[in-house]
Amino acid sequence: MRYVVTGSAGFIGHHLCQALLESGVAVDGVDAFTDHYDPSLKRANAARLARYDRYRGVELDLATAEIDDVLTGADAVIHLAAQPGVRPSWADGFPVYVERNVTASQRLLEAARRTRVPRLVLASSSSVYGNATDEPTAEDAPASPFSPYGVTKLAMEHLASAYAENWGLSIVVLRYFTVYGPGQRPDMALHRFIAALAADEPVIIYGDGEQVRDLTYVADAAAAAIAAAAADVPPGTPVFNVAGGSPTTISNVLRIASEHIGRQGTVRHAPEQPGDVRATSGNIDRARRLLGWWPEVPLEEGIKRQVVHQLGEDPRSGL
């Protein structure tokens, strides 16, 4: 069995590839090593994956390159490649989001149509909900993005529906809620908190810190993609929330990290950022029922694992 994973060297991607490889699946990992954050971090992930005999790394840009040869004969394609992050998606940053989240996805859908890929799994985001009125939010809640990033992810979903309905593609969409864990992107909140605490620098929190996030451990996020690639799902474009199941405040995330590191740190509050929603919380009943998936790593344990990985040692010894 052979899967293609786009964004294979990224945060979720390299965890997903490793899980697939260790289960015996051959993986073609596609990545463009873009500069949203330090590409050397992604190249290090790719180098670790290259140690597996069943892994083949393919460096190409989905927005411009020929894709068909990579997809031909694949049993499933899991599309994680994207331009992430809410705050940089405004103003001059928007064209990059359109290219990497909309154009690249449309070209992948076209290639999947031509090569008759049996199953395509697309990674979307809880950002499509915007400031949802119902918590936890179910998949049939109105989509009302609060940022340009969310708009591009919803556009990708609509493209997927069009291709599924017109061409019969078997597509599953996963709406991820704030993924965290070892290897988290350096621009994300928990990574920044840990780095600041370890360096005895002020911790920057945007807004009052009472924003709620439904954090999802990265291994659970990868497991959801694997389940979606194999599950017998209804025709069309089924959508599933992938959430951790324990919504909590940003301030509480910092508190847990502080306890594991053994430092409280100094908090500095910065203004709320455009596009940041007040709360996210995902209803995961549909994923439990149809994918047989549910989160397994508790929040405190997941944060502890990220702290230990990020600092490279037991944080209480030597800090």
Q: Is 149 considered catalytic here? A: yes
Distance CA 260, CA 98 (A): 39
Q: Pick the catalytic residue: 129, 149, 176, 180? A: 149
Tell me which DSSP letter residue 115 carries. Answer: H
Q: Parallel, antiparallel, or unpaired: how do β-strands 216-217 and 26-31 relate?
A: unpaired
Residue at 174: amino acid letter: L
Q: Which of 263, 260, 261 is nearest to 300 (CA)?
A: 260
What DSSP letter does each residue of 11-38 carry, written as one string? Answer: HHHHHHHHHHHHTT-EEEEEE---SSS-
**Residue 293 to residues 40, 288, 305, 311, Cα–Cα distance (Å):** 33, 5, 21, 30
Pair of tokens at residue 310: 């990020």
Residues in the chain: 319
Distance CA 13, CA 21 (A): 12
Q: Which helix (H) or strand (E) holds 301?
A: helix 299-311
Tell me which DSSP letter residue 90 carries. Answer: S
Q: Parallel, antiparallel, or unpaired: how do β-strands 216-217 and 76-79 relate?
A: unpaired
Neighbours of 144 (CB within 10 A): 13
Q: Which of 229, 308, 243 is nearest to 23 (CA)?
A: 229
As annotated, the active-site residues are 149
